[in-house]
Structure 1
């Protein structure tokens, strides 16, 4: 064997071992083929790429056995990751910034949503009195769970309008039918939530939307720019110890994003579990159509979008106002780049 050939083979072996080749990641065995993923409100369209990967068999195609634990909200799935009861999480990008500020090395590896897709709406019987976030003081705001992105978005809107984040009580109402019931039964005055809950309440005439970040225009109106939404995040040490497993997870979710780019709402409705439809398939179809613009096209958050999120958190949270988080440590983009090139 010639020296040059031996060198080439050695270089190939090294690149494969380190997971540098996306094609190699498809062929390699995962270090941790059976793993647990946490999510807060899986039936929400915010997390649709996860359900697509599960139902289309994209995880299994990668040789992974992914057990999905659905928690009441994003804050709870983060707690599960920190506590070690799940390996990875599909959750809001903002949690990576918060954890980095606390000295915990948690990073995103693929962006699933490029806009928050959160709508803040007021009960219709209060719509004549509540016209904007400046009117939220003292009103009960329903969210998926306190500390989750739905809660933070509502609080950010209040702070931006000149109120304090504590000026309105935040009440966890869950992610599905319980959230719809909270408005219909007047348990809360406002709701900061996601589709299909938002579209259900709008279609039934129960709420009037005041802020809508399902679109680029609505997101810019509130935040001044794009804001990364759902991502897959994990402890950096997991990615370092399990690079092939991490790559395979990202590969599967990238396939979901590509599928969603061209999927018709009817195809989505036929794919998801029946309970996701909230008993109203036509409504779900509208909700999917309303949300399609919000899904990531590249799987990678831009530096400007990450900074926009960080700036909003600094405004909202006194603990972060004087922080100095290195945003490059909140997102590892190499896995998404490899997934895109290998698909």
Structure 2
């Protein structure tokens, strides 16, 4: 994809007026960085794992240390607290932080759709048919405040319910989330593959809401919904443009590889424990989610606006926030530059 094609696809046009960073092959201001992520084994963060495992960060001169937290909200806390330099996390966190006066910006989109699935324990599926029936139930999410939590609350809000109408339990990612449902500790789960794929295959749950596809995403949100991204503090971006570019380059190269790879190749590229004991199941989960991975690394404007509208509807603190925070939340120039560097 050439530069003109990327420009035509960019939804955050205002960011293009900013100067491009220095040539990425130049010296990195901070060659060793620490990245936070909440649930690295999830397919939500597959581009991060691929970039790490295939040496894409190192290829661009970056020594990336990855700290895996219990959920996205904790990764954000680590960034604000200064214990990590950047985060692979949900786009909506950038909007929330912009609204609070903290200049945190996404630099590349990894997922166009959230790929979050809300499913009910099979034993109670006969009386829980939609989000209208969630009142009084125990809901497992990766962590309270994370994107899995926000998705459930948004679904409930469409039926006049609020977060206070259910009990939310952090179940983390991977095997711990599967175990929580199998032990009956939760009634509902809002989670991602391969956790959902495992529970579906074992017959433990019935899926109610599925944002792994464009149709399912638009049914819930009304538009695409930028999800996993790389976000950083703006002061870090300004001081370390080459370092920021190197991180984006690595993720962009991973996205291009994922787009061309087969589910089998992807399954072989990740650690075996990511398969949750069933490689074939993992491959089916990959196939179900492939549509969601970004083709350009650039967020669509209508999708960004849809996330902002969702947050305004859910959070009273967001209701008076001006729409210009959307333009500040994504620095599209780095993904554009990565397309010219990586090809």
- Of the three residues 54, 57, 61, the one matched with 1:56 is 54
- SS of 2:163 mapped into structure 1: coil
2:335 aligns to what?
A: 336
**Structure 1, unaligned runs of 5 or more:** 1-17
Distance in 2 between the 1:257 and 1:33 partners?
A: 22
- SS of 1:209 mapped into structure 2: strand
Q: CA deviation at 1:21?
A: 6.6
2:160 aligns to what?
A: 162
* TM-score normalised according to structure 1 size: 0.93
Q: CA deviation at 1:319?
A: 1.1
Distance in 2 between the 1:221 and 1:145 partners?
A: 24
| Contact map agreement 1:121 1:191 (CA 8 A) in 2 | yes
- Of the three residues 292, 298, 301, the one matched with 2:290 is 292
| Contact map agreement 1:97 1:325 (CA 8 A) in 2 | no
| Contact map agreement 1:165 1:316 (CA 8 A) in 2 | no
1:69 aligns to what?
A: 67
Distance in 1 between the 2:20 and 2:118 partners?
A: 43
| Contact map agreement 1:92 1:229 (CA 8 A) in 2 | yes
1:219 aligns to what?
A: 217
- SS of 1:142 mapped into structure 2: strand
Q: How many residues align?
A: 324
| Contact map agreement 1:44 1:175 (CA 8 A) in 2 | yes
Structure (1 or 2) with the larger CA radius of gyration: 1
Distance in 2 between the 1:183 and 1:20 partners?
A: 47
1:178 aligns to what?
A: 176
- SS of 1:284 mapped into structure 2: helix
Matches within 5 A, 1:89-238: 89-238=87-236
**Structure 2, unaligned runs of 5 or more:** 1-17
Asked which structure has the greater RCO (Cα within 8 Å, sep 6+), the reply is 2
| Contact map agreement 1:115 1:228 (CA 8 A) in 2 | yes
RMSD value, Cα: 1.1
Distance 1:82 1:325, change over 3 A: farther
2:9 aligns to what?
A: none
Q: CA deviation at 1:165?
A: 2.1
2:6 aligns to what?
A: none
Q: CA deviation at 1:20?
A: 3.4
Distance in 2 between the 1:224 and 1:166 partners?
A: 24
1:317 equivalent to 2:315? Answer yes
| Contact map agreement 2:21 2:241 (CA 8 A) in 1 | no
| Contact map agreement 2:32 2:62 (CA 8 A) in 1 | yes
- Of the three residues 260, 263, 270, the one matched with 1:262 is 260
Distance in 1 between the 2:177 and 2:218 partners?
A: 26
| Contact map agreement 1:19 1:243 (CA 8 A) in 2 | no
Distance 1:317 1:166, change over 3 A: same
Distance in 2 between the 1:42 and 1:20 partners?
A: 30
Q: CA deviation at 1:19?
A: 7.9
Q: Which moved more, 1:318-327 or 1:232-241?
A: 318-327
| Contact map agreement 2:21 2:242 (CA 8 A) in 1 | no
